[in-house]
Amino acid sequence: MKGVHFLAGFVFLALAASFASASDPSPLQDFCVAINEPKNGVFVNGKFCKDPKLATANDFFFSGLNIPRNTSNPVGSVVTSANVAQIPGLNTLGISLVRIDYAPYGGLNPPHTHPRATEILTVLEGTLYVGFVTSNPDNRLISKVLNPGDVFVFPVGLIHFQFNVGKTKAVAIAALSSQNPGVITIANAVFGSNPPIRSDVLAKAFQVDKNIVDHLQKQLWGDSN
C-alpha cells in the first residue's frame, strides 16, 4: 500500500512539474521566427514558426525607437512597442522593448499591468514619478522620482504607472521579460469593457454613487498604452 501511495505521489509531482514548465517553455532551437501563415510552419508559443533556413536579418530587426511620438491625447503619453508583433524573430525568446513618450506637465502612462512580464525602465529625458502597488492585503505603494539615467523595476503582474512631473517632455525605454507581455490598463478595463460591467457592480466595488459610474462609462476609452 505504501508503494502505491508513493507511486501516486510521484506521478502527481511529475504532472505538476510538467504543467509548471509548460507555462513558460525554454526554446528547443536557436530561434522560432513567427509567421502568420501555418503552411510549412510549426506552432510554438502562440505563433507559427518559419523554417529556420528561410530566416533573414529583417526577421530580427526593427527601426524607429529614436523617433519622438505625438503625445496629444487625453493621457499625454504614447508607447511604441518592439515586441513579437513588430519583430517576429522575438518569438519564444522571452524579451521585448518599448519607448514611452510623455507630454510636459503631466504626461501619464496610466495605471496598468503586464500579465506576462516584469518591466525594467530607464529614463532618457525628463523627470518621472513612477510606482507600483503590491498585492492584497497590503496594497503598498512603492514609488520614486526618476531622472535621466535612473532605472526602476516593475514586478510582473503588479499595477504600475509613470507620470511626468517636469516642465519638459520625458522619454523612457523599458525592457519586458516576454516577447508578448500584454497590457491591461485599469481604467479602460473597468469602465470601458465590452460589454460594459453593470454599473451597480462598479458602484458597490468603488463605494461611489451609481451616477458617477454611469458618467465614467460614457467616456471614450480608446486603445490603451
In the annotated binding site, the residues are 109, 112, 114, 119, 160
DSSP secondary-structure letter at 83? S
In the annotated binding site for oxalate, the residues are 109, 114, 119
In the annotated binding site for Mn(2+), the residues are 112, 114, 119, 160
* pTM for this entry: 0.83
Convert the pLDDT of each residue in 71-82 to its tens digit.
999 999 999 999
d(C-alpha 90, C-alpha 100), whole Å: 20
Convert the pLDDT of each residue in 179-203 to its tens digit.
999 999 999 999 999 999 999 999 9
How does residue 25 score in pLDDT terms, banded at 50, 70 and 90? Answer: low
Q: Can you read off the three cell numbers belonging to residue 146?
A: 526618476
How much is the mean pLDDT over the chain? 86
Find how far residue 225's CA is from the centre of its chain.
9
SS3 164: strand
